[in-house]
């Protein structure tokens, strides 16, 4: 019979249909024998001899939007830019991914709206990140070069309140962008600001992979200094990390990543609060001066 590689991403619940990702030699609606199906950790999803129902969702076209908010400062030609994606995957409500970052920059924007900063502040709520960084990429690509030149720095916040969190800062020194893309020079200063804040607050931190998995990608490619925060997604917490940050070793940083359980009840509010304060702190710091980043 037909053989297929089946990747289930909706949790270990036999009453729910799995989602098949990838190219299959079988069509929607057919029932195929299961040779064996297991999760990445080796636990069984379905036993050999059972059957799987192939579900292929019909494709559709939708319009999505970026929401951009500007607070002009005294200097209209030096913009401090923070962004978070506002969309979620269709499988879940997306509260940590990425209501968390969106709420933090919204609160920062509302608070700073009463001020007249030196530099200009811009906030973006990106659309269609989960479909492949579509909103942020379109924005940067459509921006005239003269407008790109006004952006002093871009800070990205995607998943900042993970329930089994560790504090992570995008690592400017160890990016894994394929050549010729290089992380712009000023990015190290952004990383340093985040790290010095955690140190000030007595919070341990680690590097996060800077590899293009979120909306900073287009900014890096445009040569704009970038940075950001991350409290972890599908990666499993080690014993060593649990000793440092607490939480559960052997469980993902966010066990509800891209799933229905990514709700308001499954945030770590302490992590979210510390990161929200830091997000406001960074925006306020660079509202005064971006000299440490751009010279």
Q: Which of 3, 17, 60, 129 is catalytic?
A: 129
How far is CA 113 from each of CA 119, 137, 146, rounded to the nearest angstrom?
A: 13, 26, 25
87 binds Zn ion (CB under 5 A): no
How many residues lie near Zn ion (CB under 5 A)?
5
Beta strand pairing status for 119-126 and 67-71? antiparallel
Of positions 32, 78, 108, 129, contacts ligand PHE by CB under 6 A: 129
**Residue number, 173 or 273, with CB nearest to Zn ion:** 173
- The one of Zn ion, ligand PHE, none whose footprint includes residue 233, by CB under 5 to 8 A per kind, is ligand PHE
**Residue number, 91 or 130, with CB nearest to ligand PHE:** 130
254 binds ligand PHE (CB under 6 A): no
Nearest to 136 by CA among 38, 229, 218, 243: 218
Nearest to 251 by CA among 167, 170, 164, 173: 164
141 is catalytic: no
**Residue number, 94 or 117, with CB nearest to Zn ion:** 94
Residues 202/167, Cβ–Cβ less than 8 Å: no
E strand or H helix at 157: strand 151-157
**Residue number, 87 or 286, with CB nearest to ligand PHE:** 87
Over the window 232 to 251, marking each residue x when it contacts ligand PHE by CB under 6 A and - when it does not, the resulting string is -x------------------
- The one of ligand PHE, Zn ion, none whose footprint includes residue 171, by CB under 5 to 8 A per kind, is Zn ion
Other Cβ atoms less than 10 A from the Cβ of 87: the count is 20
134 binds ligand PHE (CB under 6 A): no
**What span, in angstroms and rounded, lies between the C-alpha atoms of 28 and 31?**
9
> C-beta of 264: minimal distance to ligand PHE in Å?
18
- The one of Zn ion, ligand PHE, none whose footprint includes residue 213, by CB under 5 to 8 A per kind, is ligand PHE
Under DSSP, is residue 171 helix (H, G, I), strand (E, B) or coil? coil
35-50 burial, b for 16+ CB within 10 Å, e for fewer? eebeeeeeeebbeeee
Residues 129/158, Cβ–Cβ less than 8 Å: yes
104 binds ligand PHE (CB under 6 A): no
**What span, in angstroms and rounded, lies between the C-alpha atoms of 279 and 101?**
9
Over the window 208 to 227, marking each residue x when it contacts ligand PHE by CB under 6 A and - when it does not, the resulting string is -----xx-------------
How many residues lie near ligand PHE (CB under 6 A)?
9
Interacting positions 136-165 with ligand PHE (CB under 6 A): 158-159
Can you say whether residue 247 is alpha, beta or left, with left for phi > 0 and alpha for psi between -120 and 50 degrees? left
* Binding residues for ligand PHE (CB under 6 A): 97, 129-130, 158-159, 213-214, 230, 233
Active site residues: 129
């Amino acid at each position: 019979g037909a053989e297929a590689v089946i990747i289930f991403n909706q949790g270990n619940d036999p009453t729910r249909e799995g989602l098949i990702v990838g190219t299959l030699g079988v069509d929607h609606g057919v029932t195929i024998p299961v040779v064996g199906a297991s999760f990445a950790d080796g636990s069984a999803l379905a036993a050999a001899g059972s059957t799987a129902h192939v579900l292929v969702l019909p494709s559709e076209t939708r319009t999505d939007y970026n929401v951009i908010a500007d607070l002009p400062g005294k200097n209209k030609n030096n913009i401090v830019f923070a962004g978070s994606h506002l969309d979620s995957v269709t499988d879940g409500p997306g509260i940590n991914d990425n209501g968390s970052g969106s709420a933090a920059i919204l609160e920062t924007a509302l608070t700073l709206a009463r001020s007249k900063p030196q530099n200009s502040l811009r906030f973006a709520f990106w659309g269609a990140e989960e479909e492949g960084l579509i909103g942020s990429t379109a924005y940067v690509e459509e921006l005239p070069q003269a407008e790109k030149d006004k952006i002093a720095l871009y800070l990205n916040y995607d998943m900042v309140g993970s329930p089994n969190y560790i504090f992570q800062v995008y690592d400017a020194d160890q990016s894994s962008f394929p050549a010729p893309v290089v992380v712009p020079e000023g990015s190290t200063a952004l990383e340093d600001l985040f790290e010095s804040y955690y140190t000030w607050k007595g919070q341990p931190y680690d590097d996060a992979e800077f590899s293009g998995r979120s909306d900073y990608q287009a900014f890096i490619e445009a040569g704009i200094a970038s940075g950001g925060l991350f409290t972890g997604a599908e990666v499993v917490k080690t014993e060593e990390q649990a000793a440092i940050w607490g939480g559960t070793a052997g469980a993902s940083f966010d066990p509800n990543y891209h799933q229905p359980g990514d709700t308001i009840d499954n945030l770590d509010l302490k992590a979210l609060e510390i990161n929200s304060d830091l997000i406001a702190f960074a925006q306020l710091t660079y509202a005064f001066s971006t000299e440490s980043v751009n010279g």
